Structure 1
């Protein structure tokens, strides 16, 4: 889970635009991730030392493997953070690449790597969610939204980049969080810098008593979407979701 996606100012702005009617009546959204080589060629796996020779084969196995849990989960947190909790899902899912190779060894894959989910957010607003081995149709971690008066594709509103704090620091929209900007901009260069931000949210909560908008309820809801998607694909039955979450109206004040 990665509910820290909603700490990003760009997502705050996107949520504000949609909730204020900037796109008119919302039609649908798309979110997901796709990777061809799927970790085999990452720098931490192509060397000869213990820290650069990490076997990725667990990503291809049950339980817990597959692109939905691994990568799509980021976009799902952004999607639900902007639109609110989903109500029900249906899906199709399977294994597209059944054998992968790493450093000359063959590995059988039993985690689904080709999953498409259709989610209902109520009021006839739907979303297409994918975790696939090929075919990225939206920016990584950033859903696209389409309405009667315009669209937000990744971090662009009707083709124009959405402004955000931290841009002058040379950070991308996906690098900026409360503790990764301004005098802390160097932290945006860290690998997996979002984990640093998650840690700092906890530190601030404990030290200063300021609650975070990063919550277990949001995380549980996103994980339920994934697991309900798998259940829908296996049974052919649309799944009604049981979890929910709430976010404060003013995200910037809370983060």
Structure 2
């Protein structure tokens, strides 16, 4: 394939504008072009198109899908909309990159995977944690037996207070590109820190250890309301959750998502009888090296925010152009979604949930 693929950006909020900053750089020109952006807020898509050099700005998603220059969509809308918008993209014959999280339910993820296979459409789902060289080194050490017999693991995030989303630079201005309302983050479905943030360490933990088998949890709301300017936002989604995962053979992992704490790196700590992966170190050995680079992230890309998400998009571009699948695949995303969905169910019912989904983690020969 010689012609650049046209990318349609769905939504013009925080993640979308950061991605468009990557997609307009000249080194992408031979592979992709920023074909269109859409957003339902009047004037926002047009303003984003003008700022980032998109060929078209639309108020409706349907208009973007009808644009023949759009080959791929990156869905940057609130997580609760991802399933419906994914179905529409597949039906329109567009390849899809989902920003995290791909869907809110396992059944919806099942349906997207089935529809995409039937339509010969490619799906890539962020976060592609196992593209990172440090994460791959951790998986390799585990498979080689460097940790000995596994014992337990812990990982998580402390984004539950919502302060990050309330104070982003796209929220605190007065024009249409800098007054984006973050209310979705606190509402059902798809809001809350697990779908938005803890999805990262969940992807890395399962990418290293493989699929989990069971989950139980405790969960609740610690901060019942937030304010965005003069607007009161009621917290609907739990902001404080502790998951306990069972990987079999008496290997358990704590995964937390809370309103406060001292989490660093979002990287799991995994303990065994011979050694431990603590954050991005194996003993005194650093696993995250200064010259590590994602495959498509170089030059100016490395200085911009959300470079890892840009990489996930370029993984999809490579798949479509060169028929090389990505490890940021929908099956791994579905398994993480089932952990999250089942965790909430376990917290509500008090019953440990059996997990039915699986995926193929990286083999030693791939590392």
TM-score, normalised relative to structure 1: 0.89
Work out the CA distance in 2 between the residues paired with 1:42 and 1:105.
16
Q: Say whether 1:84 aligns with 2:198.
A: no
| Structure 1 segments (4+ residues) deviating >6 Å | none
Work out the CA distance in 2 between the residues paired with 1:143 and 1:106.
35
Matched-pair contact (CA < 8 Å) for 1:31–1:138: no
Work out the CA distance in 2 between the residues paired with 1:236 and 1:163.
39
Work out the CA distance in 2 between the residues paired with 1:221 and 1:33.
19
Work out the CA distance in 1 between the residues paired with 2:286 and 2:329.
29
Q: In the alignment, what sits opposite 1:177?
A: 294
Q: For residue 101 of structure 1, report the CA deviation from its aligned partner.
A: 1.0
**Number of residue pairs the alignment of both structures matches:** 241
Select the structure of larger CA radius of gyration: 2
Q: Map 1:21-32 to 2 at 5 A.
A: 21-32=145-156
Q: For residue 42 of structure 1, report the CA deviation from its aligned partner.
A: 1.5
Structure 1 unpaired stretches of 5+: none
Q: In the alignment, what sits opposite 2:37?
A: none
Residue among 139, 148, 170 paired with 2:273: 148
Q: For residue 124 of structure 1, report the CA deviation from its aligned partner.
A: 1.0
Residue among 34, 59, 71 paired with 2:185: 59
Work out the CA distance in 2 between the residues paired with 1:80 and 1:188.
26
Q: For residue 104 of structure 1, report the CA deviation from its aligned partner.
A: 2.8
Q: For residue 145 of structure 1, report the CA deviation from its aligned partner.
A: 1.0
Work out the CA distance in 2 between the residues paired with 1:11 and 1:218.
15
Name the Cα RMSD after superposition.
1.7
TM-score, normalised relative to structure 2: 0.63
Residue among 346, 349, 355 paired with 1:241: 355
Q: Map 1:27-106 to 2 at 5 A.
A: 27-35=151-159, 36=161, 37-106=163-232
Work out the CA distance in 1 between the residues paired with 2:342 and 2:171.
32
Q: For residue 88 of structure 1, report the CA deviation from its aligned partner.
A: 0.3
Q: For residue 129 of structure 1, report the CA deviation from its aligned partner.
A: 0.5
Moved more, 62-71 or 196-205: 196-205
Q: Say whether 1:10 aligns with 2:134.
A: yes
**CA-to-aligned-CA distance 1:41-70 (integer Å, 9 cap, x gap):** 122212222222211111011110000000
Q: For residue 26 of structure 1, report the CA deviation from its aligned partner.
A: 1.4
Q: For residue 117 of structure 1, report the CA deviation from its aligned partner.
A: 0.3
Q: Say whether 1:223 aligns with 2:337.
A: yes
**CA-to-aligned-CA distance 1:88-138 (integer Å, 9 cap, x gap):** 000001111001111132211111001000000111111101111112434
Q: Which has the higher contact order (CA 8 A, sep 6+)?
A: 1
Residue among 241, 254, 277 paired with 1:115: 241
Matched-pair contact (CA < 8 Å) for 1:79–1:143: yes
Work out the CA distance in 2 between the residues paired with 1:232 and 1:215.
26
Moved more, 225-234 or 23-32: 23-32
